[in-house]
Chain A
């Protein structure tokens, strides 16, 4: 009896040698799937070289108290006003920008220039929070003890929001911050 005159289901213990040649169609599909997997993989390094959006950042550890102090210094240096009791800060293009997350506030309000690059430092002083820039839909995890410094360049002017999208306790849903981008 040839190899192909017998088939069995998946609940039957196969006997004899079952290490057999793969049928043609199955082989074709596996080849296509494997090539696709390599493309999926290659896209990520490629985007690091050619693409403009990468979550690399400059990553370092930071004590929450230190980050708090850096943020306060940043606010004192560039404060231009206040909104809803939160300072509004306008750093010069190229500056290090500090955004602090805490229950349940993004501190301070930022005023940025379109087309200018900033280094945005994100950290939390209590628990995990989620940085979600609305409506651009840029999302980053904000973790106490870690400074996530991302080089950002706003490409549109307008009035943006920061939604917290990591659960941070009962007031999570009121934790909304603000970013203004001017021409």
Chain B
């Protein structure tokens, strides 16, 4: 072997579990980004405790200025820093690792990481110093210190660079023929997330660069135009999360129970639908704004006739159906639901996946489409229904999926056995239950007109009294309990992840053979990823009968919730 080849070969290790060639450069970048994500999650989760204990009016922990400051900190660290650091790790994994390829320009990867870290620290310092009490949205003419906007610009440039490296890795893998055929579905999903990220970051530049200049009094800004541009960034970035989350659903389905792809064409087409319509999602936030007319609002909020919603409904079928077929191929063929009953519920990777699909669909998806309807938004805009909805999508859906996949990333990439395994096994359930309880309680309060982003709903110093329906005070308690539980589960996750990285026992053949604690069942006994033979045709013929029942239950809930909201709307004052 020549020296060059040898040095190249030394950059790879062969994964003991999957047999994939893992590039060490990519692996280190995955590790760094994942660790940064967990640190941001820690900051965000600690902030969440302060917030939930303040909005729980009978506790009312923080003073007003700290409440809004911590609210700003929470949103930035969760919605931007945690999620995007994690998504960068997903891109380094789905590109070079899944395609068996080398990492192109690893040094640029480190530069991207550095920019993102500097941006995060700069922004967080500005917020904690009280120089950016503008909340996550920073709607002008509310004004923050110029360094606040600059921090976010640094972070975004870093993320853009890391995304470019993902595209480069696809080119390199194709050119160097590191895989045969088409890229796997998971990589394709990550690719759509990356494309959406680029579009989003362009909107981000269009938002934050002028705002930064404005904060130094160099240019003028229009308050309505800012809202349009900001939400082209803010909502599109949620579509990155959705695409990344759905890719992780497919990935976890495959590694936990050998879930199959029902039809490559359908799943890929559904991903493409996400790309086509994302910029229109800004309209969800502008439905009761004065700057836009009804035709614009109706067309844009519906993503051109709900084609992006169609995409999610397709994935909502193909993910569980793929899992069902995978389970049936493993022999769980009796009745409609043996595959579900005998699923590995003690595997936090699988439990997190299942809960993420259910919470995202039932709580997040249905409520989101409903309140994103032009007229129904009149009874939802800026009430607690909003955070109730998006904590179901981003936290119960995306963050939970990210946690679930971490239980596989720790042994596969960090090569460590997961610590506190018993806690890890119940962590997705605690988190899923807590966040669901909190979301439902928030949505319920919103229906009674309780505002979001509000320090004191007893309105004690206001010129006029406001008295909420007594039911509000009951769900205030369930919101508090749910929120505390979810924060506890998130902090447990951080504890598990950090102790595993630093003190976890190594994964080796002996650990797998002896079935030592801290390894999910999909690693102890990896399910087959390719199935061939006559029994496959038999399973195919029967199809996903159980999933058909599940999706029709979902559909019934959707129709009911949607039309109940129209009914509530019809009772209101006439307005037009």
Contact = CB atoms under 8 A, between A and B. Distances in A.
A139 B288 contact: yes
B570 interface: yes
B267 to A, nearest CB: 8
A50 to B, nearest CB: 10
Contacts, number: 355
Instruction: Specify which of B286, B453, B461 lies most central, judged by the most chain A CB atoms within 10 Å of its CB.
Output: B453
A165 B223 contact: no
B182 A53 contact: no
Contacts of B287: 55
Contacts of B266: 22, 26, 30
B180 A8 contact: no
Contacts of A1: 532
B263 A161 contact: no
A135 B537 CA distance: 59
Interface residues of A, number: 98
Interface residues of B, number: 123
A152 to B, nearest CB: 5
Interface stretch (B233-241, B304-312, B335-343, B492-500): B304-312
B293 A137 contact: no
Interface string A130-162: 101111111111011111101111111000010
Interface stretch (B112-120, B204-212, B390-398, B443-451): B443-451
A22 B65 CA distance: 56
Contact of B383 (A2, A33, A137): A137
B537 A5 contact: yes
B302 interface: yes
Interface stretch (A69-77, A90-98, A169-177): A169-177
Given A29-B317, A54-B575, A44 B298 contact: yes
Contacts of B260: 7-10
A44 B575 contact: no
B54 to A, nearest CB: 11
Interface in A4-58: 4-16, 18-26, 28-30, 32-34, 36-38, 40-41, 43-45, 47-48, 51-57
The 7 closest A-B pairs by CB, nearest first: A15-B181, A165-B451, A148-B290, A37-B306, A9-B254, A10-B250, A153-B574
23 contacts: A2-B537, A5-B532, A16-B181, A23-B543, A25-B543, A30-B266, A36-B558, A44-B298, A44-B373, A45-B298, A51-B570, A54-B576, A55-B375, A55-B378, A84-B463, A128-B142, A132-B382, A139-B382, A153-B574, A154-B573, A163-B459, A170-B64, A176-B463
